[in-house]
Amino acid sequence: MKTYSIKSSEIRRDRHTIDAKGKVLGRLAAEVARLLMGKHKATFSRHMDNGDFVIVINAEKVIVSGNKKKQKLYYRHSGYPGGLKSTTLEAVLKLKPERVIENAVKGMLPKNRLKKNIIKKLKVYARDINPHLTPTGDSK
């Protein structure tokens, strides 16, 4: 018996639409990361990007447990001394709710060369408007 390894020409990518309304942020991000990496497929291999496309809608309606809305901080640095800035989850959800899910998923992806290509297959929208739908209404 030989171990089967999928070739890049044989990769078939599906499209998944996930509604974030009422879902917990961490559990949603874990599910999306699994689909993006292709871990749900029998042909999964760590060295190749054979995951699917994922579209997340209603990002503004994602929920978090506890006091995370007020206590969880997102940091960024300008590169200058004293240039550390922080923003709460509540503020980010008001301004750019898409960024919350993107950051959570990005943190769950493998830290290697594939990460850049994998994250490109993720599209996040704040509301339930999905521009990727076909005229018939299905997302395939």
Which tokens go with 26? 């961490």
Of 102, 27, 98, nearest to 57 (Cα)? 98
Q: Which residue has the tokens 């206590």?
A: 71
Strand pairing category for 53-57 and 122-124: parallel
Beta-carbon-side half-sphere exposure of residue 86 (alpha carbons within 13 Å): 6
The pLDDT, as a whole number, for residue 19 is 94
Contact yes or no for 108/29 (Cβ under 8 A): yes
Give the model's pLDDT for residue 107.
Answer: 96
Identify the sign of the CA torsion 22, 115, 10, 121: positive
Which residues in the chain land under pLDDT 70?
Answer: 134-140
Architecture of domain 13-63+97-124: Alpha-Beta Complex (3.90)
